[in-house]
A = this chain, B = another copy of it.
Amino acid sequence: MVVVKMTEGVEWALHCCLDLAWAGDTPVPAARLAAHHGLPPAYLTKQLQALGRAGIVRSTPGPRGGYLLDRPPHTVTLMDVVAAVDGADPAFRCTEIRAGGPHTTRCAIDTAMARADLAWRRELAARTLADLDADVRRADPDAPAATRARLT
């Protein structure tokens, strides 16, 4: 039961997190983030709520309110975002369909899949929002400032 395809919400959440990192201390409403990316506003709030429950973003209500990053960008890994939105369930959980009663050893298939899943998570955990920011600045130094100007 390993999955090879992520939900759309993960992509949106990653883009929004990067946007919020660029916005700095200025709260950005979900509606503005949605308009910026051409996404359904009402559904995007669902992903942002998940990020809020995970302690990645913080929301402030009322006028001039919105979302902002609750942690320094270099402390937020891609794995954190993925786990917050798509759930932290193990990618592959062998349901033990092997015949012959209970087994004392771990299923070889489960072990192999767990190894692959671990490699995937390790890559995601090794990369933070600050790294993404650096990558973008390297390719287009003006992009962060331009995005910040549009959002705030």
Cβ 8 A contact of A94, one of B11, B78, B119? B11
Chain B hits for A109, CB < 8 A: 11, 14-15, 18, 132
Contact between A3 and B4, CB atoms less than 8 A apart? yes
Query: How distant is the Cα of A78 from the Cα of B38 in the complex, in angstroms?
Result: 38
Chain B hits for A25, CB < 8 A: none
Q: How many copies does the complex hold?
A: 2
Given contacts A6-B92, A99-B37, contact A108 B86 (CB under 8 A): no
11 A-B residue pairs with Cβ-Cβ distance under 8 Å, sorted by A, are A1-B11, A2-B6, A3-B5, A3-B6, A12-B97, A18-B109, A105-B139, A112-B124, A112-B132, A115-B127, A119-B119
A31 at interface by CB-CB < 8 Å: no
A54 at interface by CB-CB < 8 Å: no
Identify which of residues 103-118 in chain A touch chain B, using a CB-to-CB cut-off of 8 Å.
103, 105, 108-109, 111-113, 115-117
